[in-house]
Structure 1
Amino acid sequence: MDERKRSFSPSRSSSETEISLLPFQDSPTELSFPAHRYPFKSSFAKPGKRRRFLLAACTVFSACSLVLFLFFLYSDTRLPFTLHRPTQNADSSRHVDRMSAVLGPPTPHFRDNLRNDTKYITSWISAGWTNDVMTYAAKGNLIYLAMITERVPIIGRFIPSHIGGDAGDVAFGEVFDVDLLSQAIGMPILEWDDVKDPFSKEIDELGCWSIWQAVQNREQVPRVTYALEHNGLDISWTAAPPWVQKVPGYEHDPHAHFWSIAQLTYPEGHEANSGVPQPSLAHNVTLDPDQQLSCFDYLYYVCASESFEYEHEFSPAWRFVVKNFRWTQRLQGIANGYLKRIFEVPDEDDVPPYIAIHARRGDFVVYCGDVPQGDCFPSLTVFARRVAEIQDEVRQRHGVEVNHVLILSDESEPAWWTAVHMLGWYSVDHAAEDTVAKYGRWYPLLIDAVLQSSGIGFVGTDRSTMSVLAKRRVEDWFEGAGRMVKWGTPGADNH
């Protein structure tokens, strides 16, 4: 990967410079030198001369301090802004051997590779890619649930739920740095391919909890996907008790609480809530939920206190886990190359600071109802106002001028893109880059996600999980500025 400086070092503002000089700004008249510290006989020891000497010395000292202060205040002492890869949170003094959580290389049957002294937890995905990232977020979701239950999470592959089944699966570790994640949160993180041989033809039976059946009444079956087929798993599901739902029986909010689900992973909670297992599809077996490998069908709608709390700063799943989902060096390096070509900077130069916009439009039109699309979606003028706000904030906070704006959108109307480019904003052209041929069907989506999260500013679309995560990354990784544009009615983002 081109590791070229993907995080930034904020420059010192004049106020920060003043703070750094405070030790030199004590009042000279308050300085005193007790006589007993100078017992030797000299002209300096005479009180009158000593006072005159001290007065002269302090005067010179104060003058030097003032000169230094003015120099730092008025000279260009700012550190140049360079877009580094964000500083990782891993404690370099702490090493986590994540592969110590299994007995050895992947085996034909997953259970043959589990340690008797270790408990595990897993779940599967069934949503858009960004929602799947949040499902795997160990804070609120799979990894966070693993943390609070002291279990080792086993993460499956991403499945092409909305880019076409022929795109194939992609490993979690191809997108995110799993070793770095393990170090950052101080616990082993496993992928299913670390546990069970991905080429195994063996079918393993497993008893699991269905959270989905407990938190909604529209579907009376578990939320499952063909990810189970990839792992060769035949699941016997048991519906979780209704009380795991945040508001039991409330049809408009299917969220469950982390600690409610966590209870089911302990013997006491397991025994007190045992239900009726449903026969598995392949072998028609009925199994109680497994106690060594706790498993759940769908962990997207999970929260600590507030529904959709990833939108809030207090989200524990974000704070303790997902903010440590760093892009792999390879993926970040590919994105760096795109940025340099987009902004037309030489390979040897740093990526300039930029503001990314995620203008989600196409698939959101179904939520506009009777509102015409032109009134439902925010105009480019609305986005431009938010960009200006971020430029001002970054200028005040970091002393950096941001002149590059990169917009990513699913809009297909040529006239809209013409208007974008008339504003001087940049865009990525995956057709011209031949992204699919070079890297595969997943990579336009993956590269866009990296581009959105690698700037000093971000403007997103309200109610888009992809925007929520990009905003969180920019704010936490780069101390950047973020905004979300509201939409749905004319003037929805007026402020």
Structure 2
Amino acid sequence: MHEDAESLLAHHPPQKHSAWARYTSIASKRRFLVAVFSFATVSFLALGFLRSPWTDQRSFTPILDPQTSTNSSTPTVALVDPHGPEANLIGAPTAHFRDNLRNDRKYITSWISAGWTNDVMTYINLIYLAMITDRIPVIPMFTPSHIGGAVPPIDFGLVFDVPRLRKALNIPVLEWHEVKDRASNEVEEIGCWNTWEAVQKNEHYPRRSHVPDHLKLDISYTKAPSWIKTIPNFDGDVHSSFWALAALAFPETRAENLVLPLESPTNHLLLPPDEHMLCYDYLYFTCANQPYEMEFDYSPAWRFVGQHLHWSPTIEQLANQYLRRSIGIAEDRPTPPASPWIAIHVRRGDFKVFCGEETTGCYASLEVIARRVEEVKAELLQRKGIMVEHVIMTSDERNATWWEEVKGHGWYGVDHSQTADVLGPWYPVLIDAAIQSLGVGFVGTDKSTMSNLARRRVESWTDGATRIYKWGTPNADDH
């Protein structure tokens, strides 16, 4: 039988001024501070787009955080969202996150450590794990893994519609900035589960992430048991099981699997996994039945969470604005359903590592992709009576000749020549991802998680037609 934390510590008696003793002292002196959180409204100057293959000389002002004005004098009554922060926290964001947690609630959180689309999938997994453990998910920000570390993080709720998600799931969903004052410099200790060392043998430390640094958390990790691994004793995969991780959220299994934790890096404390704010180092590689199962239609994380994670009104409005600009629809005209479109996502840049120096025959040709587009058009016409004229290409390809060939197919591109300057570095990828997912059809790149999520969204949101093209060899997509 496994020892509990107290027994383990008895076998490893603390030395003078031990980390455990310091933790006890610190915990007994915890202060309760309430900080007033203020919001700053950022306004952008209207800038005209420079000439590009996709625009003309008309001015174009992307809209960020559009406001709806009203002249009504009728007083409005603010309703408390039972699944929002008002009902699930003590009050406004506090300098110490613990001071804002209700004793009659239990919470769960985790960190991201991959590219942006994979980080979205990580947070989907976090919310699903919260559902099956009956806890409140507390979601951190997105960090700029794909656009450079100097770029500030962006809130989850600026990208996705959190109130809509709460309503769809009928559970509370919180963001970290609603719990802890984002201006706080107070470093707080917490114990978390280390899943990363339990599923792979090459890195002998918890999964690294910049998120705890932003949240000012000093973490003492406890290595999870090896039985969380989905495929035992298989070095070729690093997935863990949702229900195995969920078991560690409950008192009996937790107690049976406590081992001596690692010291926290700042205050050198030894803390068991927190029971009030349960946390895991990394949840991207998590599944119910098989690795990478969000590629499959039965995926519970997608069915019960992901499909309900819609874009924020700002991102959706920006996507429609950029789309209208691309295909020449007046900016005061609605986009769908009057002008349905098929989106394409071609991922090439970083996939070169799978091709070597010679990419000819490795990347799929535009003719291969065009065949898939025609399949989608035919299915939409046959199944839904929709005739699609507009096809929008999104890609990380930078070759001008390739883009001229795209135009030769009668397809449109999205002009981001000023997007980063006007809106910020996050917005090109956010707008592209929204455009990919809001149409009636989609064609994407095999092995790309960005394509896979766009495909899932189109299938869930518009009952659209989708295809994924193969690549890697000259005849990879023959069918």
1:81-113 CA-to-partner distances (Å, cap 9, x unmatched) read: xxxxxxxxxxxxx96332211111111110111
Is the Cα contact below 8 Å between 1:96 and 1:182 reproduced in 2?
Answer: no
Residue of 348, 368, 386 corresponding to 2:372: 386
Is the Cα contact below 8 Å between 2:83 and 2:173 reproduced in 1?
Answer: no
Instruction: Quote how far apart the aligned CAs of 1:369 are.
Output: 4.2
1:238-258 CA-to-partner distances (Å, cap 9, x unmatched) read: 111011001123111100010
Number of positions where the alignment pairs a residue of Structure 1 with one of Structure 2: 396
Is the Cα contact below 8 Å between 1:216 and 1:249 reproduced in 2?
Answer: no
> 5 Å matches for 1:165-204?
165-204=149-188
Matched residue SS, 2:232: coil
Is the Cα contact below 8 Å between 1:95 and 1:183 reproduced in 2?
Answer: no
Is the Cα contact below 8 Å between 2:83 and 2:170 reproduced in 1?
Answer: no
Instruction: Quote how far apart the aligned CAs of 1:348 are.
Output: 2.9
User: What TM-score, normalized by structure 1, do the two folds share?
Assistant: 0.79
Q: Indicate the RMSD between aligned Cα atoms, in angstroms.
A: 1.1
Match of 1:396 in 2: 382
The question of 1:150 aligning with 2:137 is answered: no
Counterpart code for 2:197: Q
1:148 and 1:295 mapped to 2: Cα distance?
15
Is the Cα contact below 8 Å between 1:359 and 1:409 reproduced in 2?
Answer: yes
Matched residue SS, 1:373: coil
The question of 1:120 aligning with 2:107 is answered: yes
1:126-159 CA-to-partner distances (Å, cap 9, x unmatched) read: 000000000000xxx1000000000000000000
The question of 1:365 aligning with 2:355 is answered: no
Match of 1:98 in 2: 84
Counterpart code for 2:262: Q
1:357 and 1:199 mapped to 2: Cα distance?
40
Matched residue SS, 2:150: helix
The question of 1:107 aligning with 2:91 is answered: no
2:139 and 2:351 mapped to 1: Cα distance?
30
Counterpart code for 1:102: L
The question of 1:410 aligning with 2:396 is answered: yes
2:206 and 2:232 mapped to 1: Cα distance?
18
Instruction: Quote how far apart the aligned CAs of 1:275 are.
Output: 1.4
* Structure 2 unaligned spans of 5+: 1-79
Match of 1:50 in 2: none
Is the Cα contact below 8 Å between 1:353 and 1:455 reproduced in 2?
Answer: yes
1:161 and 1:475 mapped to 2: Cα distance?
28
Match of 2:76 in 1: none
The question of 1:428 aligning with 2:414 is answered: yes
Is the Cα contact below 8 Å between 1:459 and 1:485 reproduced in 2?
Answer: yes
Residue of 250, 256, 278 corresponding to 1:266: 250
1:468 and 1:314 mapped to 2: Cα distance?
14
1:182 and 1:280 mapped to 2: Cα distance?
34
* Structure 1 unaligned spans of 5+: 1-93
1:29-63 CA-to-partner distances (Å, cap 9, x unmatched) read: xxxxxxxxxxxxxxxxxxxxxxxxxxxxxxxxxxx
Instruction: Quote how far apart the aligned CAs of 1:270 are.
Output: 0.5
Give me the identity figure in percent: 52
Counterpart code for 2:271: L
Match of 2:314 in 1: 330
Structure (1 or 2) with the greater helix fraction: 1
Instruction: Quote how far apart the aligned CAs of 1:354 are.
Output: 0.7
1:248 and 1:288 mapped to 2: Cα distance?
25
1:489 and 1:437 mapped to 2: Cα distance?
38
The question of 1:224 aligning with 2:212 is answered: no
1:210 and 1:488 mapped to 2: Cα distance?
36
Matched residue SS, 1:417: helix
2:356 and 2:260 mapped to 1: Cα distance?
42
Matched residue SS, 1:167: coil
Matched residue SS, 1:159: coil
> 5 Å matches for 1:23-102?
96-99=82-85, 100-102=87-89
Is the Cα contact below 8 Å between 1:122 and 1:294 reproduced in 2?
Answer: yes
2:439 and 2:220 mapped to 1: Cα distance?
45
> 5 Å matches for 1:250-289?
250-289=234-273
Moved runs in structure 1, 4+ residues, more than 3 A?
94-97
User: What TM-score, normalized by structure 2, do the two folds share?
Assistant: 0.81
1:362-393 CA-to-partner distances (Å, cap 9, x unmatched) read: 100101247x3111111001100000000000
Instruction: Quote how far apart the aligned CAs of 1:229 are.
Output: 1.2
1:97 and 1:225 mapped to 2: Cα distance?
28
Instruction: Quote how far apart the aligned CAs of 1:440 are.
Output: 0.5
Residue of 406, 414, 436 corresponding to 1:452: 436
Match of 2:64 in 1: none
1:276 and 1:421 mapped to 2: Cα distance?
61
Q: Which has the larger radius of gyration?
A: 1
1:298 and 1:451 mapped to 2: Cα distance?
29
Instruction: Quote how far apart the aligned CAs of 1:224 are.
Output: 2.1
